[in-house]
Structure 1
């Protein structure tokens, strides 16, 4: 659902750019409460995983495909503030390196695919956990619903922006119906991928699923002693290190291997059909307004490596490069955000 340059006029593009900038700045501050020493690397991995899985377009209808947006996945695993930053990193790398999503539309894409999906998914997820019977099944149901609803919400938001500043004279009713319909189908794929991924992490490290921390890691209350904090590290056990912390490396390595397999191997089999936005834009006459990407001549444009004739190798190399750069930028950002809080935390502990 990457919006290209030319779909929206300059005032709306500037406005969404401002919204995205304010959102990212606010999330940089808010992420300080979500990121800890051992979760910052996980957040970087989430960014890389979302990048890789977004390469895997899946068919949803005749002549139409969809791909993961990733807002729900990021929000549930690492928190809403960090989740927005994860999507911002992914979209920035895609626009600059792969000519995917317009440069003037970058703020629009961050707003739609980052802010809207994360906010909707997190609100739905946490709201459902409050009303569903407590248990592991509740997390799965809440995850599926949150991921599913986040996709049409983003599509509806795009239609709203197009109603304000669309560059083509089209029937907004038809655009809304088409965008909502196709993205409801894409939402099913989004929900399935997100639920499977969150379930896999819950199975091995439930303490690392941020949005379900009070469900997967219940508080222990002992008479005469304060209750354990929801974000406290688990006590020492057979799988824990001598310091009482369970190692993050096995999960991180396993996640990285899965990410690379998706980007280098599975991506070759992705559907070549246009995604939901592209299909609607073509059918409704919006696609004619798209401008060529300013970086269309990039060596990695369209997720292939320039001058590499073997298609399979070209996609694999581009995917590897994208995962590596996204992981590096994301991890660096989250580690820097965490380190900025370290002096304050240490000072608080001294007091």
Structure 2
């Protein structure tokens, strides 16, 4: 769903760029509250994993494919503010290094793919978790529904932006019908990937899932006829916890490398939902050449490497590596800023 340069006019692109910049600034402040000893190391990995899975286009209809957007997954794993930053890092890496998503359209892409998906998904997720039974399975179910709804929401956001600043004269009703229709199908794939990933992490380390915090009911004891909370048990040994955390991180990074470097070769080559709608409805008539079209990694291939499998695999591995380094560096800096500020810990109103 990466919007290229030329789809949206300059004034609308500038306006969405301002919205995206403001959202990132707000997210940087909000992420200070979310990034702790559990989420900070995980956040960079989440960005790298989203990059890798976005290379795995899956077929959704005749001649059309889709891929993960990642807003729901990031928000549930590491928090909504940090989630916006994760997807924004991915979009920035893709736009600069791989000529995927226009640079003048970066604000549009961040608005639709990072902000809208994260806000919608996390809002739906929190609402469902509050009414569903307090169990890990409820988190997985809520993740599925939240991710499913986030994708057509992003498609609707693009449609509204196109109605305001589209560069071609196309009936907006036709664009809306086509965009939302195909992205509902893509949403099913997004929901499946999100639920499976969240479920896998919960099964191993539920404490690493931001959206699963507070699930456990406090045990009660009856003392003198009144129910009181059982005193909290001692936390797990720090060394054991760090070892388990590193294992999860290592497995996630290796999985990302394998997906981007090997599995991506077997991804669908059909155009994604936006590309298909753009071609069918004629909204791509004024598409501009990407500013980094001559990048050595443009179109997810390494320049001068003739073998397509090797070229794509190397590009994927490089992309995962660059994204995890860029993301981890940023989140480490945000986490360090929180530590330096030494502000009182805010009451966590997000807990179930």
Bin for the TM-score computed over the shorter chain: over 0.9
Gaps of 5+ in 2: 346-352
Residue 80, structure 1, aligned to residue 77, structure 2 = no
Gaps of 5+ in 1: none
Residue 149, structure 1, aligned to residue 149, structure 2 = yes
Of 324, 333, 337, the residue aligned with 2:334 is 337
State the aligned residue count. 340
> 1:65: Cα distance to partner?
0.2
Please give the residue correspondences for 1:127-166 in structure 2 after superposition, counting only pairs within 5 Å: 127-166=127-166
Assess, with a 3 A threshold, how the Cα gap between structure 1 residues 137 and 226 changes in structure 2: closer, same or farther: closer
Instruction: Tell me the distance in 2 between the aligned counterparts of 1:39 and 1:172.
Output: 41
Assess, with a 3 A threshold, how the Cα gap between structure 1 residues 260 and 32 changes in structure 2: closer, same or farther: same
* Correspondence for 1:114: 114
Indicate conservation of the 8 Å contact 2:218/2:230, yes or no.
Answer: no
Residue 292, structure 1, aligned to residue 289, structure 2 = yes
Instruction: Tell me the distance in 1 between the aligned counterparts of 2:100 and 2:5.
Output: 10
Assess, with a 3 A threshold, how the Cα gap between structure 1 residues 221 and 334 changes in structure 2: closer, same or farther: farther
Q: 150-159 or 287-296: which moved more?
A: 287-296
* Correspondence for 1:55: 55
Please give the residue correspondences for 1:207-246 in structure 2 after superposition, counting only pairs within 5 Å: 207-215=207-215, 217-219=216-218, 235-236=235-236, 240-242=237-239
Residue 259, structure 1, aligned to residue 240, structure 2 = no
Indicate conservation of the 8 Å contact 2:301/2:315, yes or no.
Answer: yes
Q: Secondary structure of 1:115's partner?
A: helix
* Correspondence for 1:325: 322
Instruction: Tell me the distance in 2 between the aligned counterparts of 1:344 and 1:30.
Output: 14
Q: Secondary structure of 2:35's partner?
A: coil
RMSD of equivalent CA atoms = 1.9
* Correspondence for 1:37: 37
Assess, with a 3 A threshold, how the Cα gap between structure 1 residues 266 and 151 changes in structure 2: closer, same or farther: same
Instruction: Tell me the distance in 2 between the aligned counterparts of 1:348 and 1:174.
Output: 52
> 1:245: Cα distance to partner?
5.8
Q: Secondary structure of 1:59's partner?
A: strand
Q: Secondary structure of 2:271's partner?
A: coil
With structure 1 as the length reference, what TM-score do the two structures score? 0.93
1:277-307: CA deviation from partner (whole Å, max 9, x where unpaired): 0000000001111111011010000000000
Indicate conservation of the 8 Å contact 1:234/1:244, yes or no.
Answer: no
Of 264, 269, 275, the residue aligned with 1:278 is 275
> 1:341: Cα distance to partner?
1.1
Assess, with a 3 A threshold, how the Cα gap between structure 1 residues 6 and 221 changes in structure 2: closer, same or farther: farther
With structure 2 as the length reference, what TM-score do the two structures score? 0.92
Instruction: Tell me the distance in 1 between the aligned counterparts of 2:231 and 2:125.
Output: 25
Moved over 4 A (4+): 217-228, 242-246
> 1:315: Cα distance to partner?
0.7
> 1:141: Cα distance to partner?
1.2
Q: 29-38 or 302-311: which moved more?
A: 29-38
> 1:133: Cα distance to partner?
2.2
> 1:247: Cα distance to partner?
3.1
Q: Secondary structure of 2:285's partner?
A: helix
Instruction: Tell me the distance in 1 between the aligned counterparts of 2:246 and 2:102.
Output: 36
Assess, with a 3 A threshold, how the Cα gap between structure 1 residues 283 and 234 changes in structure 2: closer, same or farther: farther
1:261-282: CA deviation from partner (whole Å, max 9, x where unpaired): 1000100001000000000000
Assess, with a 3 A threshold, how the Cα gap between structure 1 residues 324 and 219 changes in structure 2: closer, same or farther: farther
Assess, with a 3 A threshold, how the Cα gap between structure 1 residues 245 and 320 changes in structure 2: closer, same or farther: closer
Q: 84-93 or 131-140: which moved more?
A: 131-140
